[in-house]
Amino acid sequence: MAVTGNPVLHSKSPCMFNELFSRNETPATYFRLAANSAKEAVILMRALNLRGMNVTAPFKEDIMACVDEVDHEARLIGGVNTVVNDNGKLTGYNTDHFGVAQSLLDAGEILQGRKCVVIGAGGAGKAAAYGLMKRGAHVTIVNRTVDKAREAAAKFNCQFAGMDQLQEVLQAADIVVFSLAQNINPVEPGWLLPRHVIFDANYKSSEFSGAARQKGCKIIEGLDWLLNQAVPAYMHYFGVMPDAAVMKAGLSTYNLNDKRDKIAMIGFMGSGKTTTGKKLAKTMGYSFVDTDDLVVEQEKMSIPDIFREKGEEYFRDAEREVLQRIIQSEGKQVISCGGGLVLNDENRALLTKYCLVLWLYASPEAIVKRIKPGTRPLLNVENPVEKATELFEQRKFTYASATDMLVNTEIFRSEDIAQKIHEEISKTFGN
């Protein structure tokens, strides 16, 4: 399972789902899937045969055209944030509207008859407006492009206004839902009143919520929205309600900031870990190391010779020793990991604890085309595509359970892949 968007590395959704899987001993894992478009995300979902995928900005609208069926509420809202794979049939749902309403109810707010203003008419804003209207609130959608607000209001039978009317609308409002990006704030501090209940969709602190705090407004955090939209999403995936308290506890396990100095690239042989890793290291000013190269240097033998003369088990032991040395060394590094390195439990534990782990993905067919014959011992067989597919299927879950983010390398140049990764890291960590 996965969450997709652009960017997506910042997402805390894996923390919630993986905490639940771990506590319940469920044989499942959940990771971030980086994509450049909704279409690419769906192609990857099908290729990996994912059971489900959550969708964040900016793909919620575009992904509707990429799935096989869209639930009626999602179609009305005009956005999908949950995709379920039922034996190859992809169905899109929207659980954001539930997330908004439930977060306000959890905070002790009554929605029936309350005056609510939703700032922003994008996917999140429309879902918020629908969720509030469904529970009896009086809603006004305010948006910079008035036609977009008018269109949404017509769908939900609510009011709309342009940004030039925002101050007036706020004066009459009880609840304010802010669905714009964290660096955008059309609200003057003087327009906010202490009686306002503020619900900010951003789960990073925004300029808007900061101003609201100074005014003494009641603040409902964006993380509540994230949690409460995930609960019905889980229900769609598995047919049972999850333990929301366990999912909430998982949010505190987000630790990517602690692992940013060592970036480990995992994935099948030929997926581009070395070429991409070198370019990423140069871009970020990190040093680059390749575990295969270090094993060759240590053993004074090529990898095919090690396999032939000493066996795969000996190679895996040497590989583990090399990784331990890298982890213990100081400095910022990009690490290209051998294709089978993560199969070892000890290796996987080291990577997930100390490294930002990126899974570089390409299909077995694409990989076989890239690899020079005779250079990869495990593929020196009569039908290398069949063997590569078999090996990949055996390793797929392990790669997924170890990774912080999957990056597609199927049709992209290594320069573009490195740039994509750098952008994700910069947007997440702010450098």
The SS3 call for residue 335 is: strand
* Cα 423 versus chain centre, distance: 14
> Cβ neighbours of residue 237 under 8 Å, at least 6 residues apart?
1, 51, 52, 82, 84
Angle at which helix 414-429 crosses helix 273-284, to 10 degrees, equals 50
Active-site amino acid positions: 60
> Cβ neighbours of residue 173 under 8 Å, at least 6 residues apart?
115, 116, 117, 140, 196
Q: How far apart are CA 149 and CA 162, in angstroms?
A: 8
Structural contact between residues 44 and 408, judged by C-beta atoms closer than 8 angstroms: yes
- Dihedral through CA 257, CA 259, CA 262, CA 267, nearest 10? -110
The SS3 call for residue 363 is: coil
Q: How far apart are CA 171 and CA 196, in angstroms?
A: 9
Structural contact between residues 254 and 12, judged by C-beta atoms closer than 8 angstroms: yes
Question: Is the backbone of residue 52 left (phi > 0), alpha (psi -120 to 50) or beta?
Answer: beta
Q: What type of residue sits at position 316?
A: R
Q: Which long-range contacts (CB under 8 A, 24 or more apart) does 197-203 make?
A: 197/104, 197/107, 197/109, 199/100, 199/103, 199/104, 199/128, 199/175, 199/225, 201/124, 201/128, 201/177, 201/225, 202/178, 203/12
Q: Is 313 exposed, middle or buried (0-12, 13-18, 19+ CB in 10 A)?
A: exposed
Q: How far apart are CA 215 and CA 206, in angstroms?
A: 15
